[in-house]
Homo-oligomer: A and B are copies of this chain.
Amino acid sequence: MCGVCGVFNSESAAIYIHAGLFALQHRGREGAGIATHDGENINIKKGLGLVQTLFSDEKSLEGLEGRIAIGGNRYSTVHKYGPECTQPMTFMFEGDQQIATVHNGNITNFEQLRRELQAEKALFQTNVDSELFGVLINQTEGTTLQEKIKRSFPRLIGAYSIIIMTGNEIIGVRDPWGFRPLKLAKINDTYMLASETSAFDILKDEGTVKLEELGSVKPGGIVTINDSGVSYDSLPNTETHAKCIFEYIYFAKPDSRVNGHDISGIRKNYGAQLAREWPVQDADVVIAVPDSGNSAAIGYAQESGIKFDEGLIRNHHAGRTFIESKNDSRKRSIRRKFNPTRSVVEDKKLVVVDDSIVRGNTTERITKMLYDAGAKEVHIRIASPPITSPCYYGIDFRTHEELLVNRLGITSVEADIHKIEQHLGVDSLRYLSLKGMLEVSPQNDYCTACFTGKYPTQTAF
């Protein structure tokens, strides 16, 4: 995963990007970068680390002049990244035309397409799929960037929401499946593209601003923003949508909005549906695994009438579990991250709600913690279906083997749910049904491959 944003027409373009990247920090903590176009040249600063570490003061933004800017947070998935692979990337076409790109997603036919393009004499410098966009544009005939994009991007299979900056415009492109989000807004006279609406909201307080949300870039959409305003175009064949439902379940910030629905509300719907599907009789209290399970737990509590309480306290100085890159450090993170509140837990029959189970480490350790703190019964309720298949579109579970269900050799979760319960040491464990989840989701055009193994693209991975 990554977070991307772009700004057109602001005296404070780099500062806007900085704020946006800060609001999108949860989408990628391994590196960040900002590029601006000052009319003549692209200026760029990027590196490894958090936004607030890399860009810690006004001085750190020096040199990033210009009214147009883009930026990205990077979250390592497929590739090993060094500083040279962080975003933005730059490319030069037709003499001195410099562009910069930031990309959120994962191209599944990268290797194959790279070979095809190399056969056409295209030059790659790294093994990062984000290079594909520049290469394809360069390789393709056309009088405008948009024309080249429309001709060449259909060769890409997989997830991409990218923003391209030139000397006089920013262009947002979203893959035809719409895997990753891409939002547009107008902030006073400035246009901004970003992965999530929280990147717009953070700007409300940088002075007196008028924020007008202009909705999502559609799957396959190409939005161009320049001095003439906003114009829309589209890639061909954008019928089959496959928006990543895991954005709702886990990835997006709860205060971000999709079609006017905020993520927090969607998650509460999941929790409520979960309560209808899998009630726990005579439970004393519903608690969340904070913060990932907060919204769903509130939804579960509201629907079930069981009181919601805080049974686990999170130490926010420890990083986000899911986002670390080594399994080992994930374990230590859990130890340092949660502590039960005994008064809520002791002698209680608990409903413990979390958003999802990937590897199962967090659930297992938290269960142990709760029993140690005196819980009478622990009933885990997961506000999404069992994950059985890897994600090739940018979420960080990429192998069959790492998934809890597969680690236990389970083919039917329904039939063998007790095996998981036994492994985790819980009184009961239930997952939200896929059908139920989709019923309460705001739309119906999602990628659910991680639950079903039915991938919306035909690539052999």
Task: Report A353-400 residues with CB < 8 Å from chain B CB.
Answer: 365, 369, 372
Contact A202 B82 (CB under 8 A): no
Contacts of A121 in B (CB 8 A): 121, 138-139
Interface size of A in residues (CB-CB distance below 8 Å)? 78
Decide if A90 touches B126 in the complex (CB within 8 Å).
Answer: yes
* B-chain residues with CB within 8 Å of residue A204 when the two chains form the complex: 369, 372
A45: min CB distance to chain B, Å = 7
Structural contact, B123 and A135, CB atoms closer than 8 A: yes
Question: A261–B343 contact, CB under 8 A?
Answer: yes
Q: Tell me which of A174-182, A187-195, A273-281, A334-342 binds B.
A: A334-342
15 sample A-B contacts, Cβ–Cβ < 8 Å, listed by A number: A22-B317, A23-B315, A25-B315, A44-B82, A45-B82, A46-B82, A91-B124, A92-B126, A95-B115, A125-B125, A204-B372, A253-B315, A260-B342, A261-B343, A264-B344
Pairwise interchain contact A365-B205, C-beta atoms closer than 8 A? yes
| A436 in contact (CB, < 8 A) | no
Are B317 and A298 in contact (CB-based, < 8 A)? no
The answer to whether A93 and B122 touch across the interface, beta carbons within 8 angstroms, is no
With A44-B82, A121-B121, A126-B90 as known contacts, state yes or no: A339 contacts B298, CB within 8 Å.
Answer: no
A71 within 8 A of partner (CB): no
Q: CB-CB < 8 A to A265: which residues of B?
A: 341, 343-344
Copies of chain A in the complex:
4
In the bound complex, residues from chain B placing their C-beta under 8 Å from that of A264 are 310, 313, 341, 343-344
Which chain B residues border A369 with CB–CB below 8 Å?
204-205
Inter-chain CA distance A340–B202, complex, in Å, is 11
Closest to A84 in B: B84
A422 at the interface (CB under 8 A from B): no
**Nearest CB in chain B to that of A264: its residue:** B341
Whether the pair B118, A315 counts as a contact (CB closer than 8 A) is no
Contact of A25 among B25, B95, B317, B340 (CB under 8 A): B317
Nearest-Cβ distance from residue A252 to partner chain B, whole angstroms: 11
Which residues of the other chain, B, contact A253 by a CB distance below 8 angstroms? 313, 315, 339
Q: Scan residues 236-266 of chain A and give those whose CB is less than 8 A from a CB of chain B.
A: 253-255, 257, 260-262, 264-265
Contact A316 B315 (CB under 8 A): no
* Binding-face segment, A6-14, A153-161, A301-309, A444-452: A301-309
CB distance from A213 to the nearest CB of B (A): 10
Instruction: Give the distance in Å from the alpha carbon of A302 to the alpha carbon of B23 in the complex.
Output: 32
Q: With A138-B123, A255-B339 given, is the CB distance from A295 to B317 under 8 Å?
A: no
- Which partner residue on chain B sits nearest A295 by CB separation? B310
Cross-chain contact B123 with A134 (CB below 8 angstroms): yes
Q: 1/0 contact trace for A119-163 toward B, CB 8 Å?
A: 001111111000000110011000000000000000000000000
- Point out the residues of chain B lying under 8 angstroms from A198, CB to CB: 313, 339
State whether the Cβ of A3 lies closer than 8 Å to any Cβ in chain B. no
With a cutoff of 8 Å between Cβ atoms, the chain B residues found around residue A372 in the complex are: 204
> Contacts of A123 on B, CB cut-off 8 Å?
91-93, 122-123, 134-135, 138-139
Is B315's CB under 8 angstroms from A22's CB? yes
CB pair B315 A308 closer than 8 Å? no
- Using CB atoms, name the residue of chain B closest to A312: B255
CA gap between A4 and B299 in the complex, in Å = 39
A124: chain B residues within 8 A (beta carbon): 91-92
Residues of A267-309 at the interface with B, using a CB-CB cut-off of 8 Å, are 268, 291, 294-295, 298, 301-302, 307-309
Q: Which of B262, B291, B344 contacts A343 (CB 8 A)?
A: B262
Among A93, A122, A123, A202, chain B packs the most CB atoms within 10 A around the CB of A123
